[in-house]
Amino acid sequence: MDIETNDPEFEEIARLIQEEEKAALEIFRRRDFRREVKARIGGSPTKSRPRVLLRRLPVPAGAAVLLLIAAWAFFFNPHPPVPNTGGDSGSFVAGVEGLPGLAELASRKGHPRPGDGESQGAPQSIRDVLALAQQVRTDEGENAPPGSGNLQVPRLSLEKKMMILFKDRVIERVLVLIRKKSEEA
Amino acid sequence: MKTKGIWAAILICFWATNLSALDDNAVQVKRAGYALLDMYVKSFQEMATQGSGAGLVEDRLQAMAADAKKAKEAGEINLVFYSRYARLLAVTKLLVQPDKGNILIPVIDREVTDFLLDITGEEPIAYKAGGPPAIGQVANALAEEIINLQIYLDTLAKREALRKKLDETVSGPKK
């Protein structure tokens, strides 16, 4: 297709295009696009990141919190709180260290006594502490007289009970004894 | 996907809380129950060692009965455990207490026979023969019942959890 460059309509269109181009360039130079783009690139991470993080955080955080609550309810709620008898920190370790009879037990098992210089820190492991606490509670229970209203601590295992009942036959022995005494009387 | 995760976490939370409440109850019943059983066994162990008479046995039985009643009223033991423990004490007392003039013999025989049949399934042949074999047969049944109660406590939490699961399967979860 031939285009006649002398056509007045073509000249008019070319003139309009040039004017548009000039106006666009003028606007471009006046607004300083390069500076604006740099500012955008420089500022975007700090402005947009929190929004993205905030959008992403609630789901895992909420799930984690719920799971923590569930774990707490499952593992810790059924058990009564450890009595804190004088520990100023109020922590579990302080509570365990304050238990009566622990000092004696600790020395028996080769652990430092509470209040000694070396025992200011936490005990060696949580397993040791729990074992000590359990032992103390068992000892306390065994020292309590029967029928004293102390219904707190299980003291005899099934195996031990079976030994006492079926091997030592304590019930039979007591009943025979009573029968003998009543016959004598 | 995210919504499903949240719902799963919420369900786990509720499940754990329910299980915790269930366990809490079972733990309480277990503690008091174990202590009551220990009292019985330890008392007889002491009395066998010391050679105590009927008077001390009676005192101990009364103390155990009072503790059991207190624990039941405080909700520390359940009705199943209480009724079986109370029966254990009652049968023991029937054997221990002096029956001047043999007035209570029909009652004692009936109760002991029922107890033997319920616990060991044995006919009271040795018991009716009298003497040491009679005492041996009843003492064995008493010991068996103590072990039965201990195993009942050992499995209580599992039993309650299974019962709850079964109830929910049949009639849906509680509203």
| Residues 28-87 (B) with a CB less than 8 A from some CB of A | 30-32, 34-39, 41-48, 51-54, 57, 60, 63-64, 66-67, 70-71, 76
pLDDT on residue B130: 83
From B24, B9, B129, select the one nearest A64 (Cα to Cα): B9
Say if A163 is an interface residue toward chain B (CB within 8 Å).
no
Across the interface, of A146, A176, A178, the residue whose CB is closest to B42 is A146
Q: What percent of chain B has pLDDT over 90?
A: 56
Residue B17, pLDDT above cutoff 60: no
pLDDT on residue A100: 47
pLDDT on residue B65: 96
**Extents of the domains making up chain B:** 2-171
Inter-chain touch B5–A182, beta carbons under 8 Å: no
| Mutation choice for A interface testing from B28, B44, B138, B148 by most A CBs within 10 A | B44
With CA atoms as reference, the chain B residue closest to A80 would be: B24
For residues A29-43, average pLDDT: 78
Q: Give the gap in angstroms from C-alpha B14 to the nearest C-alpha of chain A.
A: 7
Residue A95, pLDDT above cutoff 60: no
Across the interface, of B13, B138, B154, the residue whose CB is closest to A70 is B13
Output the average pLDDT for chain A.
Answer: 65
Residue A145 confidence class, pLDDT cut points 50, 70, 90: very low
pLDDT on residue A53: 56
Q: Highest mean pLDDT: which of A99-103, A112-116, A163-167?
A: A163-167
In B, which residues are within 8 Å of A77 by CB distance?
A: 20, 24
**Cβ neighbours for A101, distance < 8 A, ≥ 6 positions apart:** A136, A139, A140
For residues A30-49, average pLDDT: 70
Distance of CA B26 to the CA centre of its chain: 14
Across the interface, of B34, B53, B142, the residue whose CB is closest to A171 is B142
With CA atoms as reference, the chain A residue closest to B39 would be: A146
Cβ-contact A139, A132 below 8 angstroms: no
pLDDT on residue A118: 43
Residue A92 confidence class, pLDDT cut points 50, 70, 90: very low
Inter-chain touch B67–A173, beta carbons under 8 Å: no
Angle formed by the axes of helices B156-171 and B131-154, nearest 10°? 60
- For B110-138, the pLDDT digits (tens) are 999 999 999 999 999 888 888 888 999 99
**Extents of the domains making up chain A:** 8-73, 88-154, 156-185
- For B65-100, the pLDDT digits (tens) are 999 999 999 999 999 999 999 999 999 999 988 888
Q: Highest mean pLDDT: which of A40-44, A181-185, B15-19, B21-25?
A: A181-185
Inter-chain touch A154–B136, beta carbons under 8 Å: no
- For A42-76, the pLDDT digits (tens) are 765 555 555 555 566 667 777 788 888 877 776 66
